[in-house]
Amino acid sequence: MGKLAELGCEKAVAIYRMMVRIAECDQRIQQGLAAGDLQFQYYPAGGQEAIPATIMSLLNPDDLAVTTYRVIHDIVAKGTPLREIMAEMYGKATGTCKGKGGPMHLTAPDSGLMVTTGIVGAGAPIAAGLALAEAMQGTGRVTVCSFGDGAANIGAVHEALNLSAVWKLPVIFVCQNNLYAEYTSFAESTASDSIASRAAGYGMAGEQCDGTDPASIHAVARKAIERARSGHGPTLLECVAPRLQGHAFGSDIAHMDQAALAQAKATAPLKSVRQRLLDERLATEAELAAIEAEARAEVDDAQQFAVASAAPDLSELQQDVFADIGDTPYAARPSSPDEISPSGALRRITFGMAVNEAMAIALDRDPSVFLLGEDIHDPAGGIVKATVGLSSRFGLDRVRPTPISEQAIVGAAIGASMRGMKPVAEIMVNDFAMVAMDQIANHAAKLRYMSGGRTAVPITIRSLTAGNVGSFGAQHSQMLESWFAHTPGLKIVAPSNAYDAKGLLLACIDDPDPCIQIEAMRCFFSHDDVPEGHYTIPLGKAAIRQEGHDITLVSYSWGMQEVHAASTLLGEAGHSVEIIDLRTIVPLDYAAVRASVLKTGRILIVHPATEFGGFGAELAAKLQHDLFGKLKAPVGRYGAPYTCIPFAQNLEAAYFPNASGIVERATALLGYI
């Protein structure tokens, strides 16, 4: 254990002051829980106060931090006002997140605490993205990502460490090792002697220190921060600090080594640092007592402020899902969404060429746009050449090939977008989005809401669906639009032609919310007339592809090919068919669908995904509810059967919705009088 005097009197006392503020806040929250004034799951930070108190003292105010649900010590040390923290604990409108995030999701971008995640290990990819944005913008800022020893065994952390090392990002990964992963000891869950030793496997620096000793923490953290700021890449820093109580407030401690626990309590950092300050004559008893009284008074004030603050207004319930509440399903939408009309000459190009052209335009127009994904650089240019030529034209800094790491790809995009960038992340095949669903559904979709609107995630995810093109089988052929649509906060785009693919992608890139564009391989090599230059198609504006008066057919993506073929057959049989291409699923142009059905009295909704639980069921239920008594036939829907997607081509052909099936179901609906 080093001398605190090595830090200098002023810094040593300042670190202790921060430790006292952390401990006082931590204890007050636990007292509120014990008294029943507060009600939530809480994860105390006792024993770990010295880690952020020391590390944050080495950072600049505008450096960034990401942490996990055991957060109170990190957010206090990063400089967030205690009033805001305590008000969030009480679920008040004056809290850091307007009472909408709570203790596991504290966000305070003004002080640089960008994300607190309740998902173990999930913050690491986002921290890599924050650091990436700072590196690309040349700000010199560093990012500190804190997590526990349990999170060190999560795949997202591995992916983030590897990506950060490959790109030499200015990030410090701080494992606050309290020797227990929830209720399992470090020795039981980890075969290696330390977390820091793993750094060698990533080709990055690794350091271990005594997490109860500010002098030890300071020595290794200072080197790590200097390394990051000077462009020499990330560090994996392990700070060992035994936990002083159970995993959560009120948890039992029977699983803990009782002798080790007693020893840790006897030598708790708050006690030991206080005594060392006295022993080394860096402070007097009166000075330390004054610091402690000041912290109690500050927490008293914060608690009184929280209790007196108002709860969030009920109008907040659906605010902050998107930047514009009008983008939520069935909300009243503007009659004329913003649109940039095309002015360039028409050329007949493929869907894939249109996607490539959209990205080239975005990269050329806006320096904050960049691409990342697997194999997207030349000469590969992506598995279907969607990005071919772009890295040669714009460079590898803006067209970034990544490791095969979907969680890291999406997480890095999230983090970078929170710092002013506009990432376009490619998930090679739609099925692979499931590997990154935590980052997509728990973070990209929720961060605006959980932060009370203080952060935004303007990312675009491009993803290919390979269904109905022959022999890709069950794990490469799915469309996951209903999964995405069921997650508030995501916008879902499914173009059916090259014109829309370009205009919708450009709209997604400019959108303030996370957008997922699903690109069908079946459409990728089809040709359409597409204008040169920049234009956008508003999200949430369906296209009436054909007017009719007997029945409405609604679809999107490659389903439109079958709908058009079926319409021809139905027309030959004397039926007038109206065709609506939704183009976007969220936002949803429900008004256009409703108006069409009121005109025709019949509707068949066609979608490529499984019919059971599919998006068609949602739209059908809404229409049936709203138009009951005005319809000439029940609302029809047609999707794939409830089975996995088969490999054999004859079975695959029977699996996906097709023109003859549409004609059969539409004819049945037309038979109602």
**Which residues are catalytically annotated?**
476
Q: Which two tokens stand for residue 33?
A: 């829980």
* Identity of the residue numbered 420: G
Instruction: Give dist(CA 161, CA 158) in Å, integer.
Output: 5
- The three state secondary structure string of 252-308 is CCCCCCHHHHHHHHHCCHHHHHHHHHHHCCCCCHHHHHHHHHHHHHHHHHHHHHHHH
Would the CA dihedral through 618, 645, 483, 104 be positive or negative? Answer: positive
Helix (H) or strand (E) holding 84: helix 82-89
Kindly tell me the sign of the dihedral angle through the C-alpha atoms of 94, 97, 101, 104: negative
From residue 585, give the alpha-carbon distance in Å to each of 273, 302, 471, 564, 610.
57, 44, 27, 19, 16
Handedness of CA 391, 392, 398, 404 (dihedral sign): positive
CA neighbor of 587 nearest in space, from 670, 641, 516, 497? 516
CA distance 400 to 396: 5
Structure tokens at 225: 């921060």
ω into 367 cis (within 30 of 0): no
Q: Which two tokens stand for residue 439?
A: 């980052």
Is the Cα dihedral 369, 374, 380, 384 positive or negative?
negative
Q: How far apart are CA 511 and CA 367, in angstroms?
A: 16
Cα–Cα distance measured from residue 66 to residue 44, given in angstroms and rounded to the nearest whole number: 17
Given a contact cutoff of 8 angstroms between Cβ atoms, the answer to whether 593 and 543 are in contact is: no
Distance CA 187, CA 469 (A): 50
Reduced 3-state DSSP string for 344-377: CCEEEEEHHHHHHHHHHHHHHHCCCEEEEECCCC
Q: Which H or E run contains 667?
A: helix 659-670
**Mind spelling out the 3-state secondary structure of 394-410?**
HCCCCEEECCCCHHHHH
CB atoms within 10 A of CB 423: 28
CA–centroid distance for 78 within its chain: 22
Residue 226 neighbours by CB under 8 Å, 6+ apart: none
Alpha-carbon dihedral sign for residues 29, 33, 38, 42 = positive
Cα distance between residue 417 and residue 446, in whole Å: 14
CA 387 to chain centre: 24
CA-CA distance, 175 to 186, in Å (whole number)? Answer: 12
Q: How many helices (H) and strands (E) does the chain have?
A: 25, 22
Cβ atoms of 583 and 495 closer than 8 Å: yes
For strand 180-181 and strand 184-185, is the pairing parallel, antiparallel, or unpaired? antiparallel
Structure tokens at 577: 């068919």
